[in-house]
Amino acid sequence: MVFIDVDGVLIPLRSRPAGASGRHRGNAGNGPDCAGNPLLDRLAPDDGRGLLALPGELVWASTWMAEANEVVAPRLGLPILPMVDWIDDDRQPPSGVHWKTASLVRWAAGRPFVWLDDEITDGDRRWVAAHYPHPALLHRVDPHLGLTDTDLTAVRQWLDHRDGAA
């Protein structure tokens, strides 16, 4: 299972330069104001192809919720994906642990998973290691660059190693 955040991962904080790392920025929609969000132009169709090439189920792990399927997925050539239902309670996560972490562990339900997010910290990694006895790769994406070929290679290597070990 591969959990995917949108902001900072698929929509980087900075515009992607044309041709950077063999990837292209491209026009992801019908102009910069499509769906009212000028940042959608930062989506790169190559990201969709790269994600689809990964073994495993892709799952949205974003506050975009249904809009990830309605707005982001079509621009990346992705099918409609399941999305994480976030835990709705007033408890605060432990210090240094992202508010998404416990929900992702619950959603994974004992299955190996990858989490692609720009806000992952060592605190999240320690919490998952202590509370989830199954394989998990928490991969931080640089929010200024967004998802890169290097990120996808690291994920693929981890997933291939998991498949080879099984």
**How confident is the model over 33-59, as pLDDT tens digits?**
345 788 999 999 999 999 999 999 999
Residue 86 has φ and ψ, to the nearest 5°, of -75, 140
CA pair distance 160, 38, nearest whole angstrom = 36
What are the sequence ranges of the domains in the chain?
A: 2-165
CA pair distance 134, 34, nearest whole angstrom = 41
Report pTM.
Answer: 0.86
pLDDT at 165: 59
Residue 124 has φ and ψ, to the nearest 5°, of -65, -45
Strand order in the sheet with 58-60: 58-60, 2-4, 113-117, 136-140
* Per-chain mean pLDDT for the chain: 87
**How confident is the model over 144-162, as pLDDT tens digits?**
999 999 999 999 999 998 7
